[in-house]
Amino acid sequence: MVLVIDDNEELCEVVGDYLSLKGHQVRCAVNGDDGLRSLTSSEPRPEVILLDLQMPVLDGWGFLIELRKNPGLADIPVVVMSAYPDAAERAIQLGAVAVVRKPVEPQALLRIVDRFSTHH
């Protein structure tokens, strides 16, 4: 299962539809706070989290910091999706496994999700 955390509902829908067509279950959250709630309240546990950085309530940076504080969730791979050219270094320092530039290229995103997913 892939958890997409992005306040852009259209992007969430497009990414979700594409990954669903490729055999992945997808759940969306509208901000980091919503994403953390989703992680603690629902099954199955995501195999990969796709994370936007710029969101209201709790942004991607805050989400990464909070996620790492929870030993039961800290090992879930997080792929940051960002338009910021300088986001990669800080995202990796905060525990992200990969950074994808927005606008996201669907095949590139699928390759990364497949790398961390066990459904194949």
pLDDT tens series, the chain, 120 aa: 999 999 999 999 999 999 999 999 999 999 999 999 999 887 889 999 999 999 999 999 999 999 999 999 999 999 999 988 889 999 999 999 999 999 888 899 999 999 998 764
Residue 118 in any domain: the answer is no
82, part of any domain? yes
Domain span at residue 82 reads 2-106
3-class SS letters over the chain: CEEEECCCHHHHHHHHHHHHHCCCCEEEECCHHHHHHHHHHCCCCCCEEEEECCCCCCCHHHHHHHHHHCCCCCCCCEEEEECCCCHHHHHHHCCCCEEEECCCCHHHHHHHHHHHCCCC
Question: What pTM did the predictor assign?
Answer: 0.94
Per the domain annotation, does 117 fall within a domain?
A: no
- Residue 112 domain-assigned? no
Domain count, the chain: 1
CATH of the domain at 67: 3.40.50.2300
Peptide bond into 103 cis (omega under 30): yes
